[in-house]
Amino acid sequence: MPERLRVAVVGVGHFGRLHAEKYAAMDDVELVAVVDQDAARGAEIAAAHGCQALEHYQDLAGKVDAASLTVPTSLHHSVGLELLEMSLSLLVEKPITETVDSANALIATAKARGLTLQVGHLERFSPAYFALAERVSKPLFIEANRIAPFQPRAKDVNVVLDLMIHDIDLIMALVKSPLISVDAVGAAVVSEGEDIVSARLGIVSARLGFASGCAANLTASRVSLKTERSMRIFQPDAYLVADLAQRKVTSRRKGEGEMFPGIPNIETEEFSFEQADALAHEIADFVRCVRTKETPAVNGEAGRDAVQAALMITDSLQAHRRLLEQSGVI
């Protein structure tokens, strides 16, 4: 492999432009090209970073070692498969694909060719998540809220695949247990998909010894007037609160002694973090894994499992919608 890793960005819309910026700023990486069907857009981004602009991703063959795939989700499978077959390691923006079978196809192709496949679940690289992961041991109940104003760029997928999938991935990484049940309700407000979703995911872990299983309540909305990304985690010895947007984590644990007879002392710790560039850390991890052949923290399997959970939620939403239609509510 060349001393400088040769990379490209396929699709330079909102996120693709950011990927190009991060690669261009890395000393051990050469941003060779950006690819976009919009020739003017591609030329603009290429000129900003001194690289080549291409309209067809097939022209990358033999020119680069790895690429970020930041095209619409509906194209992740077809374009991703071709890029992998061209022997390019891939960082695929979340969600990895629209279906589990499509995700499995990318995973199998990457493994067969010895390539790195990483999925862009950005929150996994936030300081607040790292702080949580260090302190979560046996979660009993998790509550996650992720609300934001509507963004037209995300209208090709519903709010589950757009926003909620972030918390699905975080929770599955923290709980480390199979998903066994889903119950969801939602309402389409702006787009044709579900814009407001309140979902309950039951995750059982016999390995952790929970008799009733860990449960998580997730709420996601992209038609809100404010932005909030928060998570609360309850476990036998602690209560953890994370404000992912403000980069703060509060931990309350049972301490030594008692404040009152039968009531233990509570020790409180608060952690705050400087503004961190999660995307830069994500891309740096991808580059490292391509070079070392290590398994990424968010590999293809993790991306696939998040999609599988999201599709289970979507199925539950559709069942709830049919009920509303039958009752005459909508």
The domain in which residue 260 lies consists of 124-276+310-324
Q: What is the pTM of this model?
A: 0.89
Same domain, 271 and 288: no
Q: Is residue 266 part of a domain?
A: yes
Determine whether 39 is exposed, middle or buried from the number of CB atoms within 10 Å of its CB (0-12, 13-18, 19+): exposed
Same domain, 29 and 107: yes
pLDDT at 266: 84
Same domain, 159 and 265: yes
Do the Cβ atoms of 146 and 302 come closer than 8 Å?
Answer: no
Same domain, 158 and 244: yes
Q: Along the 330 residues of the chain, how does pLDDT read in single tens digits? A: 558 999 999 999 999 999 999 999 999 999 999 999 999 999 999 999 999 999 999 999 999 999 999 999 999 999 999 999 999 999 999 999 999 999 999 999 999 999 999 999 999 999 999 999 999 988 999 999 998 877 665 556 678 888 889 999 999 999 998 988 888 887 766 666 666 666 554 432 223 223 448 999 999 888 777 888 999 999 998 999 999 988 899 999 887 777 777 777 888 889 888 888 999 999 999 999 999 999 999 999 999 999 998 998 888 888 777 887 788 877
Same domain, 88 and 64: yes
Same domain, 79 and 151: no
Q: Is residue 52 part of a domain?
A: yes
Do the Cβ atoms of 214 and 234 come closer than 8 Å?
Answer: no
pLDDT at 205: 26
As for how many domains the chain has, the answer is 2
CATH of the domain at 13: 3.40.50.720
Coil, strand or helix: which one is 170?
helix
Q: Is residue 302 part of a domain?
A: no
Same domain, 87 and 186: no
- Whether omega for the bond prior to residue 95 falls within 30 degrees of 0, making it cis, is yes
What is the spatial distance between Cα 86 and Cα 108, in angstroms, rounded to a whole number? 14
pLDDT at 193: 64
Beta strand residue intervals within the chain, DSSP E: 5-10, 29-35, 52-54, 66-69, 89-93, 117-120, 141-147, 179-187, 196-203, 214-221, 228-235, 238-243, 248-260, 263-272
Same domain, 196 and 88: no
Q: Is residue 304 part of a domain?
A: no
Q: Is residue 103 part of a domain?
A: yes
CA dihedral (216, 221, 227, 231) in degrees, to 10, reads 0
Q: Is residue 330 part of a domain?
A: no
Q: Is residue 98 part of a domain?
A: yes
Q: Is residue 315 part of a domain?
A: yes
- Which token pair is 168? 């699905």
CATH of the domain at 249: 3.30.360.10
Same domain, 187 and 108: no
pLDDT at 68: 98
